Chain A
Amino acid sequence: MNTVTVDRGPAPPAPPPQSAGPSYLDDGHTLASWFATHDHKRIAILYAIAITAFFAIGGIAAAMMRIELATPAGDFVSDDTYAKLFTAHGVIMVWLFLIPSIPSAFGNFLVPLMIGARDLAFPRLNLGSWYLYVVGGAIVLASLFLGGLDTGWTFYTPYSTMFSNGWVVVALTGVVVVGFSSILTGLNFIVTVHTRRVPGLGWFRLPLFVWAIYATSLILVLATPVLAITLILLAAERLFQIGIFDPAHGGDPLLFQHMFWFYSHPAVYVMVLPAMGVVSEIVPCFARRRIFGYRFMAYALLAIAAIGFLVWGHHMFVSGQSPTAGMVFSMLSFLVAVPSAIKVFNWTATLYKGSIRFDAPMLYALGFVGLFTIGGMTGLFVAALAADVHLTDTYFVISHFHYIMVGGSVLAYFGALHFWWPKITGRMYPEIWARMAAGLVFFGFNLTFFPQYLLGYEGMPRRYHAYVPEFQALNVLSSAGASILAIGYLLPLFYLAWSLRAGARAGPNPWQATGLEWQTSSPPPTENFASLPAAPDDVYGYTPRLGRSPLHVDGE
């Protein structure tokens, strides 16, 4: 694995001469040089560390739930604790992991590099966003350590306002603060993509990852304020008994659901669009092919972001909203599935006549395509009104959105981590270990969540602390899968840490990729490029190479 030769390759245009200053990692070693940095790359690292910590905490909550569910009786934790566990798992994974994961960590690191910019448009604001995120996250954690809350991450009223006795308002405060971090990050990306592209880099020459971050940012800026409004109203009702959502005070509980999902459904696309962007970078690179249907891929991202705003009511087909509203939301939900299907077909077509290698990033990307397809197709089941009446609020829905969120977003996150690891750290990760971890994650994930589709069809409701005996066999499979998944998640922690010291030097472009980010040294200098890079003629200008790659000559 250690025979990596640096090959700047004929595929990308010759990189400009590198006479830059120290790499961003060597540019200061004091605490202040990190915690007061304005460098988008260092801020990306700060995000990555915080996100990893939150992912671990959310994962521990999930692990405890899976232990509880290994037997039908509620005998591992109390029913109250179980409710607090699934609330903690949901709140942390949604707001502190999934939403910031790819945009804030990889978007921060890569967007300026990919468009040939020195930094984001507002570097100080970028640092401020990280502090908001960490403070908000700390408030959420404080609500857990104070005793937690049991509302579920959806905070449905009137349970959350009148019946829950947990630390609801504290957690809401944390989520609202994190929301401002989202808004400011989105704003920063939008302005950056509009104003900081290197001369000659037109919109339809941008990498799809940048398109994805751009579409995501639009959603963050437009939808997150509604979440803040909703949660503040909820807090007002809980604290001052103002009748907004509670019918006992003249409010309407369905109003809360409408407002909550107006944010939270687009938020699903915040989680998955960046993942699509990552896959659209990895698949062409390892297939050595131009991405198939570039413009359709870019338009599909925007279409998903736009239509995604109009489908929120599909969470409410049995809530008592009018049947007419249900039909409109159902039809729009089928429409939003079309651009997703287009993307899957285009990724598949990109493989045709390629010259495909199966390094770890590609394994994750192909895993994404498969799992996202299953998650998307089961989305059709729950978008179909009469079918959803049976499936909603069961484990079918749990499984459906975990196929999108974990099978999709988390696999893409790991794919991105391995693909850009050489760029971020200057070191190669150990390929064998990485492929093994990818295999474990894929296998463990399916064993965890596929049985949940069956459980849902059988009728097991979600958020059940104890369950009837006939559901046990599938739950045992699911818990067993979760333990394998956990090993798959833990492995990279060790081998990536190891590679920081002992990994082979990566060189500027170990994958012979064509993006601008590969035309500077690894790790890049603080100012990103020694001189203004030339806009690439074709950001996916890959050519199929026959024969062996200079990479991993001993491993193939």
Chain B
Amino acid sequence: MNDGNGVGAGFGWLGPAASSAGERADLLLLVLFVVCGTVALALAVLIVWFSVRYRRGSKADRSNPPSNDWRLETAWTLTPLAIFLGIFAWAAWDYAQLSIVPADALPIQVLGKQWMWKLDHRNGRREINELHVPLGRPVKLVLASEDAIHSFFVPAFRLKQDVVPGRYTVLWFRPTRLGEFRLFCAEFCGAEHSKMIGRVVVMQPADYARWLESGPLRPGLAARGFELYRSLGCSGCHDERSTVHAPRLQGLLGRVVHLQDGRSLVADENYVRDSILLPKKDVVAGFDPVMPSFAGQVTEEDLQALIEWVRATGDQRTGGRG
């Protein structure tokens, strides 16, 4: 009954990692397993050996039993500490890489809702509970939730990221193996949580390009975003010809923005989202806080489209689409 998506035939035991991060994670897990396994085995051997040798009634020598030895205590405090810190540093290094998204990553908008995944490719190709991606190219998922917390989990990639309402989270990966892989929701989100599953299909780039242009096409996300930009009245202030003094949005994503209160930040999807819903939160230096909030007027999908339009304005190759 879990195979409602026609998934199943191609799946079996979890194979080798299918993403660059997953290969690193497997190496880390293997080393953890070997280190911990060795220590556990040594302890088990010691306990069994002591239990046999010093069982009541045995003739083993029990003279001068020690009950304290600060050298021993120091050794078995500092040795684990050193090993632990080593593992920590390694795992933290790999974890840090997960938050450094390559500049050329392919952006895909993901919306989690009870109980399905909706995925939007930039050209307007839309999928439900399936994600097609090209082999070898970094992919950046911008994850949004419409209701409860969900979690986007692809075991073959050894990656998961919670999808939190009210903000965007980002998950990026570089697929390293062709094939179909399970997609699960990993954060309990209601009765049909265990049906919020699907698959990730990793294709050859040429196949992916063909796939992208086939099937049901809607206007590109950015085009919808541009429509919203006009119909919601954003253009009335943010347009170059406008008489109202408002920041330009063209090429905003990735730019450093200096704020009224002296902070500065790099504009990302969360910044654009917050600026639409909570415009007084990060006011740009040199501008008055006159923008009204659009909370309640835009849906999660509208926000995704608007952000995609802002992204398109900064992208030379696709800049004309809007």
B contact residues around A431 at 8 Å (CB): none
Q: Which one of A320, A351, A390, A549 lies within 8 Å of B164 (CB-CB)? A: A320
Give min CB distance, A147 to chain B, whole Å.
14
With most chain A CB atoms within 10 A of its CB, the pick from B65, B92, B155, B184 is B65
Q: Any chain A CB within 8 A of the CB of B194?
A: yes
Q: State whether B1 touches A466 (Cβ < 8 A).
A: yes
Q: State whether B1 touches A73 (Cβ < 8 A).
A: yes
Q: Which one of B63, B160, B193 lies within 8 Å of A390 (CB-CB)? A: B160
A contact residues around B166 at 8 Å (CB): 247-248, 252-253
- Give the complex CA separation of A112 and B85 in angstroms: 41
With contacts A254-B164, A390-B160, A457-B14 known, is A293 near B36, CB below 8 A? no
Give min CB distance, A166 to chain B, whole Å.
11
With contacts A80-B191, A390-B155 known, is A468 near B182, CB below 8 A? yes
Q: Any chain A CB within 8 A of the CB of B208?
A: no
Q: Any chain A CB within 8 A of the CB of B77?
A: yes
Contact stretch, chosen from A23-31, A227-235, A373-381, A517-525: A373-381
Q: State whether A370 touches B44 (Cβ < 8 A).
A: yes
Segment 513-556 of A: residues with Cβ below 8 Å from B: 540, 544-549, 556
Q: State whether A334 touches B88 (Cβ < 8 A).
A: yes
Chain A 305-320 per-residue mask, 1 if CB under 8 angstroms from chain B, else 0: 0000000000001111
Segment 1-55 of B: residues with Cβ below 8 Å from A: 1-3, 7-8, 11-14, 21-22, 24-25, 28-29, 32, 36, 39-40, 43-44, 46-47, 50-51, 54-55
Q: State whether A380 touches B194 (Cβ < 8 A).
A: no
Q: State whether B151 touches A159 (Cβ < 8 A).
A: no
Q: Which one of A320, A351, A465, A544 lies within 8 Å of B51 (CB-CB)? A: A351
Q: Any chain B CB within 8 A of the CB of A158?
A: yes
Q: Any chain B CB within 8 A of the CB of A352?
A: yes
B contact residues around A443 at 8 Å (CB): none
Q: State whether B84 touches A351 (Cβ < 8 A).
A: no
Q: State whether B162 touches A320 (Cβ < 8 A).
A: yes
Q: State whether A468 touches B188 (Cβ < 8 A).
A: no
Q: State whether B46 touches A159 (Cβ < 8 A).
A: no
Chain B 47-83 per-residue mask, 1 if CB under 8 angstroms from chain A, else 0: 1001100111100111101111100110011001100
- Give the complex CA separation of A320 and B98 in angstroms: 12
Segment 432-476 of A: residues with Cβ below 8 Å from B: 457-459, 461-470
B contact residues around A346 at 8 Å (CB): 73
Segment 182-207 of B: residues with Cβ below 8 Å from A: 182, 184-195, 197
Q: State whether A389 touches B158 (Cβ < 8 A).
A: yes
Residues of B within 8 Å of A, CB-based: how many? 89
Q: State whether A356 touches B14 (Cβ < 8 A).
A: no
Segment 360-412 of A: residues with Cβ below 8 Å from B: 366, 369-370, 373-374, 377-378, 380-381, 383-390, 392-394
A contact residues around B73 at 8 Å (CB): 293, 296, 342, 346
- Complex: chain B residue closest to A296, CB-CB: B73
Q: State whether A389 touches B88 (Cβ < 8 A).
A: no
- Chain A: number of interface residues, binned into ranges: 35 or more
Q: State whether A393 touches B151 (Cβ < 8 A).
A: yes
Give min CB distance, A465 to chain B, whole Å.
5
How many pairs of A and B residues are in contact by the CB < 8 Å rule?
A: 289
Q: Which one of B88, B161, B189 lies within 8 Å of A159 (CB-CB)? A: B189
Chain A 208-242 per-residue mask, 1 if CB under 8 angstroms from chain B, else 0: 00000000000000000000000000000000000
Q: Any chain A CB within 8 A of the CB of B94?
A: yes
Segment 312-362 of A: residues with Cβ below 8 Å from B: 317-320, 323, 326-327, 330-331, 334-335, 337-338, 341-342, 344-346, 348-349, 351-358
Q: State whether A387 touches B29 (Cβ < 8 A).
A: yes
Contact stretch, chosen from A45-53, A268-276, A283-291: A283-291
Q: Which one of A253, A327, A338, A356 lies within 8 Å of B92 (CB-CB)? A: A327
Chain B 133-164 per-residue mask, 1 if CB under 8 angstroms from chain A, else 0: 00000000000000111010101101111101
- Complex: chain A residue closest to B156, CB-CB: A459
- Give the complex CA separation of A370 and B68 in angstroms: 22
Q: Which one of B12, B50, B197 lies within 8 Å of A356 (CB-CB)? A: B50
Q: Any chain B CB within 8 A of the CB of A150?
A: yes
Q: Which one of B2, B81, B94, B160 lies within 8 Å of A468 (CB-CB)? A: B2
- Complex: chain B residue closest to A328, CB-CB: B92
- Give the complex CA separation of A335 and B77 in angstroms: 10
- Give the complex CA separation of A394 and B25 in angstroms: 15
Give min CB distance, A233 to chain B, whole Å.
17
Q: Any chain A CB within 8 A of the CB of B96?
A: yes
Given A318-B162, A319-B162, 6 extra CB contacts under 8 A:
A254-B164, A320-B164, A320-B167, A323-B95, A338-B84, A470-B11
Can you list 18 A-B pairs, Cβ within 8 angstroms, ordered by A? A73-B1, A79-B191, A79-B195, A83-B191, A151-B188, A323-B95, A327-B92, A334-B87, A352-B65, A355-B54, A384-B32, A386-B90, A387-B25, A389-B98, A461-B186, A468-B2, A468-B182, A546-B62
Residues of A whose CB lies within 8 Å of any CB of B are 72-74, 78-80, 83, 150-152, 156, 158-159, 162-164, 246-248, 252-254, 287-296, 317-320, 323, 326-327, 330-331, 334-335, 337-338, 341-342, 344-346, 348-349, 351-358, 366, 369-370, 373-374, 377-378, 380-381, 383-390, 392-394, 457-459, 461-470, 540, 544-549, 556
Residues of B whose CB lies within 8 Å of any CB of A are 1-3, 7-8, 11-14, 21-22, 24-25, 28-29, 32, 36, 39-40, 43-44, 46-47, 50-51, 54-57, 60-63, 65-69, 72-73, 76-77, 80-81, 84-85, 87-88, 90-96, 98-99, 114, 147-149, 151, 153, 155-156, 158-162, 164-167, 169, 182, 184-195, 197
